[in-house]
Every structure is written in structure tokens, then in C-alpha cells.
Chains A and B, each alone.
Chain A
Amino acid sequence: MEPLEETANTILAEDDPWPALEESGLALAGVPEEAGGSGGDLADAAVLLRAAGRHAAAVPLAETGWLAGRLLAESGLTVPSGPLTAASGDVRAVRDGDGWILDGTLRRVPWARSAHRLAVLTTTPAGGLVALVDPSRLQVEEGANVAGEPRDDVVLAGVRAEAAAPCPVDAAELRRRGALARAVQLTGAMRGALDLAVRYAGEREQFGRPIGRFQAVQQALAELAGEVTVADVAVRAAVRAPDDPVAVAAAKANASRAAGRVAAIAHQVHGAIGVTGEHVLGRVTARLWAWRDEYGNEAEWADTLGALAASASDPWALITGS
């Protein structure tokens, strides 16, 4: 195993991995060091996200580095310490002296209530703008996804940004980045579900032998492994081409599609034990059910790809990228 992957899996298997992520700097992997991050590229950041998914870690890792950290760094702002999140939405920014006043509402902002700072992406007549605000001073209406992760609505009523800068990233690009992050997390969680199902099939005995000895169970596990492997390699390819709209859309659509099948098979293999609240499988599958719909599910990304295909002269060129 590569050292980073090993470290990531060790830290993210802990009950509360966040302090170790911050201390080691890994919370800001993929964010340039000069902006306050810990350096490394997107593939390194993906190693961490994958491990977080695999261990169903309840941490705002994608939000802190992959989304907010990179956004701030690309806009020339210093990345604050602590958990961060990023969002765009129906927010208006108005000049006030040398600062900006923000008004509007952001829906289903991941981890807003526990984020140290929120990076708000908006547009002004002069172009894109990213503004930093402290969510503890805002009106936050708490919501959650199926896995119990915070997805809060945030109201900005004439709030003054702590810092702001023109931003080269637009809302569509932020959404694409979110989709790729969730796709990586999905593949981690899918691998977690596969590991659990394979282990359980080897341990659980019925009719005098481990259930994994039955062909019906073996065939189901093989399908599970197939979906996990294909989703994983597709997402890895997209991480290498994060600016390719076809790659990201295809990888997220496929991962979202696979997530449902993976969760269903993993539960079927586990039987009733898997549907109890304290079993670890539920923490993994709840994330599969949540993340497959976040930043666009398979239907939404299929629409994007369908539109791209319809405007291309040859759908095959879209598949090969040339």
C-alpha cells in the first residue's frame, strides 16, 4: 500500500478523525502550500476522500480542501484553519466601501453549522466573486442527508464578508467539483460495502457452512465487485481529467447508478443483521444513498451528457475524448 493511502486509512478509521486530519495537514491535501494548504495534487486528495468514504467517516473533508480550500487558493485568499465549506446559490453581493455585503439564501450547504468559515461563490457585474463568512453569525436552518450529515440552509441578511476576491471558478464548475468529490467518496464507500459483505459471507454460517459457499451468494458478490471496480476505475480516470466535462459527468452518473445496486446487494448478503442501527454497514450504505443524489444524480448528469452528445456530430468521439 502507498504510504499516503495507509496513513489515510489509519486516520479515517478512528472514531473522531478530524483532529488528526488537521494536525497532519491532510484536511487540506490538494491545496497549494503557499495558500495555507498541505500541497499534493488532486489524486492525493482523492486518496483521502476514498478512505473517508470507505470508513464512513463523518467529516467535512471534501468541503474543507477539495471545495473551499481550492476555491480560496485559486482566488488568492489565505485558507483559514478549521473545517470549511463552500456553496453557491441565490446570493447577491453589493460593494460597501472596500468590502462586500451579501444578501440571499443558500440551500443544503454541507456542514454549514459546524464549519469555521463558509466560502460563498457568487457573481457581480464584474464577474465571479468568492466571499468568506462566519456561519456561526448567520441564520442556519438545520437539515441533514440520509446519513445524518448536516445539509443546512443558510440565510445571509446584509452580512459583511470577512474577505473576498474575484474568483475564476463559476457555479457550474463548483458543482462539477462537488460531483467529482462525491463520486470519489462513493467509490470509497462502495469498497467499504464490498469488504464488509465479503467478510460477512465468509463468517456467517447457515445450513452448516459459510453462506459465501452458496453459488447464489457468490454470484451476487461478484456483481457487487464488478460494480465497485468499474465505478472506481472510471472515477480514477476522471480525477486525472477533472476539467473534462464528459469524464466527470460520466464518472458521477455511473457511480451514482452503481451505488444503489451496491447497497442493495450488500444488504441482501448481510440479511437482517445489516439493517440494525448499530451495524457498521448502515453507516456505509446511508452514505451511498445520500451521496448518489448530491451534486447531481445519475439522471441529471445523463441529461448533461445527453445534451453534449446531441450537439456532437458523433457520440463515439465523446466516449473516446477525441
Chain B
Amino acid sequence: MARSDVLEPGTLPPGTGELRARVREFLAATPFTPRCDCWLTGADPAFSRRLGERGWLGMTLPERYGGHGRSPLERFAVIEELLAAGAPVGAHWIADRQIGPSLLNHGTEEQKHRFLPAIARGECFFAIGMSEPDSGSDLASVRTRAERDGDGWRLHGTKVWTSGAHLAHAILVLARSAPKDTDRHAGLSQFIVPLPAEGVAIRPILGLSGEHHFNEVVFDGAFVPDDLVLGRPGDGWRQVTAELAYERSGPERLLSTFLLVRLLHARADGPAARRALGALTARLWSLRQASLAVAGALAAGETPDVPAALVKDLGTRFESEVIEVVREHAGVEPDPASADPLARALAEAVVQAPGFTLRGGTNEILRGIVARGLGVR
């Protein structure tokens, strides 16, 4: 096999330890309720603004756009601290993780100045409109269409599973702007729609727990002026797939249930529980090295699509494994209303778990990417 399949370990830049310590101090001094899967379920706009004040949003964006010119690996350290603590990072998550880099790469100067500083302050949250009722894994089949109208476009169609659309200040929509021809990846474009907007209806899709994180977003002729098209019309597929690189293999693909490990640690008093804790530690330590290695490769300008896909496959399955292991040793039943934080966290985790291996590309799709990388597909 080719040498390029080997991942070299990633190294955090000097000074990261100090940065990490400051995040830990902040977390210790800031009241919040830790949650499992906090980057989806823990939306707290005030908390997001506090992170913005400290310079921990838009970290990698240039200073001229309100960012902080830090390396992606410094951001890695900050977000893994927030996730490991179960902090409420859901409100800004999508804007900080992928919209910022995407706007920086494809946006106009005007778009960058309009959105990036607000994203870095924690005052502009984004949703991302990709999945549709009939388009999940087969994303290129989206049917939301953009029709030319004067100096802009009108959107028609329905997006689903849109996380945080009800809190977002804008949504980035993938739509078909030219009829499908032989190249099904051609003719797709990305549109920025500030919210709320005329012709956009946002309705809750309640999750298994009955909580409201997802939405259905219906576009009924909403108008998007030309200056809010992201990148070049027709380039949507290339832009979206590049965006997915930021979405895969980050610490959020390993740590969605780490809160359970922390809570088990606090009561792991027998040898069996300690062994379980040690086994989870070994696996997480190793997966984190892989995640860090992919982050290092991304920061070095490489495109580690295949390693990113396989880290997400193994990482998200680990997130579910944590639940099963902790259940064995918890000595409590999952209970969403319990005063016991472990019983409550278990209840949160079990209902979120099915999503771990679905979102951002199902694990079957990811393994297909890996198989292609191996040359068997």
C-alpha cells in the first residue's frame, strides 16, 4: 500500500498548553449544565457570546475579518476542551466549524465583512440546508431549486434535519440552479439566506427525546439577491464536499459521550469499573491521536479525505460504545428527570446515539469512501 496512507501524528503548537489551561479556567468559572452531545443539544447564545469575547470563535479567521489568526490546531485544543466538558456550544457550532472557513474560501469581500466578524463574536449563528425528504446519503439528488428572477434567485423546496435553524441568523442552502444533465454534480449552487425571511417557514422536527434541535425549512419563493450566492453558481457540489472535510474527524466525532466517562470516573471504585475506564481511555487516547493527525494534515494543506472518513467511522462508533460500557458499571437506570447527573446523562446519550453514526455522512457512506481509497471500489 502507498506510503500516503500512513498518518503521521499531529503536534500541537507551543503555547497550546497555556491556551488549554485558560479554557479550563473559564469552564470552571462559568456556570452551565453539562450535556452529552452538547454540540447539537446544548444551545446557549449567551455562552457563545462569552466564547466570542475570549477570542475562541472564528479562531482561524484572519484578524481583518474579526478573527484571531490562530492555527487550526489551537482551535482543535479549544474545542476539545469545550466538548469534553459538555459545554453548550451548539448555537454557534456550525457557523464556527464550517461556515467561517467556507465563507473565507468562497465568499466575496462583502460577504466576508458582513458575516465573519459577527460569527467570531458569537452573534451570528448559521444553519446548513443540505438534507431533504428524498435526499439523504445521495446528496446530489437534492430537488430544492433556484430559479432566476431579475438580479437574483427564488428558492423552492424543503430541507429537513436542519439543526438549529430556529436559532440561526442565516442558513446556507444547497439548491439546484441548473437542470440536471449527464453530470449530476453540475448545476448545484449555495445560497445564503438571512433569517427570518419572507418565503421561508421553519418548523420543528422533534427528536427522540421530544427536544427541539432539528427543523424542517420550507422555501416558497424566498428571494436571494446575486450578492448572496456563495462562490460561483454551479460550483455548489465542489464547495459542499470541501466543506465536509471540516465536518469530519474533528473531536466532536469522538467526544459526544465523554461526559459519561467523566461521571463514571467519579464513581469507578471497583476493579471491573476501573478496567472499563482504562479500556475507554486507551481507545479514546488512540482515536484522538488519529483525529489530531488528520487535523495536522488539514492544517498543512493536505486533503486527508480517506483518513478523515475512517476516523469518523471508528470515532462515532466509539461514542456509542461508551454508552454500553458505562451502562454496565453505572448502577443506575437512564432517567431524563433524575437528580443524578449520570442517570440523566445516560438518558440523553441513548436517545442521541442513533444520530452519531448518521450525521455528516453515514458510516456506510464513509466506509465506501475508504474502500475507494483502498482501490477496491
Give the distance in Å from the alpha carbon of A240 to the alpha carbon of B77 in the complex.
20
- Among B77, B285, B287: residue with most chain A CB under 10 A: B285
- Mostly, the B contact residues are helix
B282-329: which residues lie under 8 A (CB-CB) from chain A? 282-290, 293, 307, 310-311, 313-314
Asked if A219 CB lies within 8 Å of chain B CBs, one says yes
Q: Is the CB of B279 within 8 A of A240?
A: no
Q: Is the CB of A201 within 8 A of B376?
A: yes
Given contacts A222-B371, A229-B310, is CB(A301)–CB(B278) below 8 Å? yes
Chain A 217-240 interface mask (CB, 8 Å, partner B; 1/0): 111011101110111111011001
Residues of A within 8 A of B371 (CB): 212, 218-219, 221-222
A306 pairs with B275, CB closer than 8 A: yes
A301 to B283, CA, bound (A): 11
Size of A's binding interface in residues, CB under 8 A: 57
Contacts A229-B307, A240-B9; A222 near B370 (Cβ below 8 A): yes
A212 touches B377 (CB 8 A): yes
Q: Which of B17, B271, B274, B368 contacts A309 (CB 8 A)?
A: B274
In whole angstroms, how far apart are the Cα atoms of A247 and B3 in the complex? Answer: 24
Q: Which of A117-125, A138-146, A190-198 contacts B (4 or more CB under 8 A)?
A: A190-198
Judge whether B285 and A191 touch: CB under 8 Å: no
Tell me the nearest residue of chain A to B6, going by C-beta: A232
167-205 of chain A: CB within 8 A of chain B: 191, 194-195, 198, 201-202
A322→B17 CA distance, assembly (Å)? 7
Kindly list chain B residues whose C-beta atoms are within 8 Å of the C-beta of A231: 286
A26 interface residue (CB < 8 Å to B): no
Q: CA A229 – CA B284 in complex, angstroms?
A: 14
Return chain A residues, CB-CB under 8 Å to B286.
Answer: 230-231, 233-234, 250-251, 254
Q: How many residues of B contact A (CB 8 A)?
A: 53
Residues in A whose Cβ lies below 8 Å from that of B80: 320
How would you classify the secondary structure of chain A's contact residues: helix, strand, loop or mixed?
helix
B83 to chain A, nearest CB (A): 10
Residue on B nearest A233 in the bound complex, by CB: B7
Say yes or no for A298: interface residue by CB 8 A criterion. Answer: yes
Bound together, the chains give a CA A1 to CA B258 distance in angstroms of 38
Residues of B within 8 A of A223 (CB): 313, 367
Bits for B6-42, please: 1 = Cβ < 8 Å to A, else 0: 1111000000010011000000000000000000000
Contact (A195, B1) CB under 8 Å given A202-B376, A222-B367: yes
Shortest C-beta distance, A58 to chain B (Å), equals: 23
Chain B proximity of A193: nearest CB distance (Å): 11
Is B265 in contact with chain A by the CB < 8 A criterion? Answer: yes
Other-chain residue from A212, A219, A237, A305 in contact with B289 (beta carbon distance below 8 A): A237
Report the Cα distance A129→B141, complex, angstroms. 70
Question: Given known contacts A251-B286, A316-B262, A318-B281, is B364 in contact with A303 (CB within 8 Å)?
Answer: no
Count of A-B residue pairs with CB < 8 Å = 179
Given known A-B contacts A237-B9, A322-B20, A1 and B274 have beta carbons under 8 A apart: no
B376 contacts which of A212, A234, A322 (Cβ < 8 Å)? A212
> Is the C-beta of B142 less than 8 angstroms from some C-beta in chain A?
no
B333 close to chain A: CB less than 8 A: no
A-chain residues with CB within 8 Å of residue B7 when the two chains form the complex: 229, 232-233, 236
Q: A212-B376, A212-B377, A322-B17 are in contact. Are A254 and B285 (CB under 8 A)?
A: yes
Minimal beta-carbon separation of B270 from chain A (angstroms): 10
The answer, yes or no, to whether A68 is at the interface (CB within 8 Å) is no
Query: Cβ of A157 < 8 Å from any Cβ of B?
Result: no
Q: Is B20 within 8 A of A230, CB to CB?
A: no
What residues of A have a CB within 8 angstroms of the CB of B284 in the complex?
319
CB distance A306 to B368 under 8 Å? no
Asked if A310 and B265 make an inter-chain contact with CB atoms under 8 angstroms apart, the answer reads: yes
In the bound complex, how far is the Cα of B268 from the Cα of A308, in angstroms?
Answer: 12
Residue in contact with A246 in the complex, picked from B5, B279, B285, B364, CB distance below 8 Å: B285
Closest to A316 in B: B84
Q: Once the chains bind, are B1 and A198 in contact (CB under 8 Å)? A: yes
Task: Say whether B244 faces chain A, with CB atoms less than 8 Å apart.
Answer: no
Chain B residues, Cβ within 8 Å of A227: 314
- Which one of B84, B261, B311, B374 contacts A222 once the chains associate, using CB atoms below 8 Å? B374
The answer on a CB contact under 8 Å between A218 and B376 is: yes
**Interface check B277, CB cutoff 8 A:** yes
B-chain residues with CB within 8 Å of residue A233 when the two chains form the complex: 7-9, 286, 289-290, 293
Among A194, A212, A226, point to the contact of B313 (Cβ < 8 A). Answer: A226
Q: In the bound complex, what is the Cα–Cα distance between A303 and B282 (angstroms)?
A: 10
Contact present for B285 and A226 (CB under 8 Å): no
Contact indicator B278/A302 (Cβ below 8 Å): yes
Interface centre among B289, B311, B370, B377 (most CB of A within 10 A): B289
For A298, what are the chain B residues with a Cβ–Cβ distance below 8 Å? 279, 282
A234-B285 CB under 8 A given contacts A218-B377, A225-B374, A309-B265? yes
Q: In the bound complex, how far is the Cα of B281 from the Cα of A236, in angstroms?
A: 17
Instruction: Give residues 337-372 of B contacting A (CB, 8 Å).
Output: 364, 366-368, 370-371
- B120 is an interface residue with CB less than 8 A from chain A: no
Given contacts A218-B376, A223-B367, A322-B20, contact A315 B261 (CB under 8 A): yes
Q: Which of A219, A225, A237, A305 contacts B278 (CB 8 A)?
A: A305
259-315 of chain A: CB within 8 A of chain B = 298-299, 301-310, 314-315
Q: Is B375 an interface residue (CB 8 A)?
A: yes
Contact of A226 among B77, B276, B368, B370 (CB under 8 A): B370
Question: Known contacts A302-B275, A316-B258; is A229 also within 8 Å of B268 by CB?
Answer: no
Q: Which residue of B lies closest to A256 (CB)?
A: B282
Is the beta-carbon distance between A301 and B282 smaller than 8 angstroms? yes
Q: Say whether A249 faces chain B, with CB atoms less than 8 Å apart.
A: yes
Q: Are B285 and A319 in contact (CB under 8 A)?
A: yes
Residues in chain B near residue A191, CB distance under 8 A: 1
Cα of A303 to Cα of B9 in the assembled complex, Å: 25
User: A194, A226, A254, A316: which contacts B283 (Cβ < 8 A)?
Assistant: A254
Q: A217-B376, A221-B371 are in contact. Are A305 and B1 (CB under 8 A)?
A: no
A257 touches B (CB below 8 Å): yes
Give 13 A-B pairs besides A201-B376, A302-B276, A310-B268 with Cβ atoms closer than 8 angstroms: A202-B375, A221-B371, A229-B310, A229-B311, A230-B287, A230-B310, A249-B278, A254-B286, A257-B279, A299-B279, A303-B274, A305-B279, A316-B262
3 A-B pairs closest in CB distance: A306-B278, A222-B367, A212-B376
